[in-house]
Amino acid sequence: DVKVTQSSRYLVKRTGEKVFLECVQDMDHENMFWYRQDPGLGLRLIYFSYDVKMKEKGDIPEGYSVSREKKERFSLILESASTNQTSMYLCASSLIPGNEQFFGPGTRLTVL
C-alpha cells in the first residue's frame, strides 16, 4: 500500500524559530508537493519538486524554503516562523502528470 509519512502530527514552535517539516514517500514518485490548508481557503501550494534537487515555487512561497536531496524525502523549512504560519501542512506525491496525488496525514503547526 502506498504511503506518505510526515515527521510530526502536531508541532508547537515559537516566533522566530527555524522549523523543519519532513515528508517521506515510499512509492518512488518523481513529484512531491507541500500545501498549507486553512479554513475556508482550501489547499494552497507552497512549493513542489519534480526531481531530486529540483524545486519550483507554488502560489505562496514567501517565508518558506524546501529541500529535496533524495527522491523519497521532501522537506519544508520555515526560516523564521511567524504566527501567520500557524496552519495545517500537507505533503503529497504523484507519479506522472495528470495522475492523482497521495497525501500524508498532515502536520498541524502552531506558532506562538
Which of 11, 43, 60, 77 contacts another protein by CB under 8 A? 43
CA–CA separation, 70 and 102 (whole Å): 18
Decide: is 40 part of the binding site for another protein (CB under 8 A): yes
- Cβ–Cβ < 8 Å for 35, 94: no
Which of 27, 45, 60, 77 contacts another protein by CB under 8 A? 45
CA–CA separation, 13 and 19 (whole Å): 8
CA–CA separation, 14 and 29 (whole Å): 33
Could you tell me the three cell numbers for 34?
507541500
CB of residue 16 to another protein, shortest distance in Å: 28
- Of 13-21, 61-69, 72-80, 95-103, which part binds another protein (CB under 8 A)? 95-103
CA–CA separation, 34 and 66 (whole Å): 9
CB of residue 87 to another protein, shortest distance in Å: 14
CA–CA separation, 59 and 65 (whole Å): 13
Contact string 9-28 vs another protein (x = CB under 8 A):
x-------------------
Give me the residues that bind another protein (CB under 8 A), please: 4, 9, 31, 40-43, 45, 48, 50, 58, 90, 92, 94, 96-106, 108
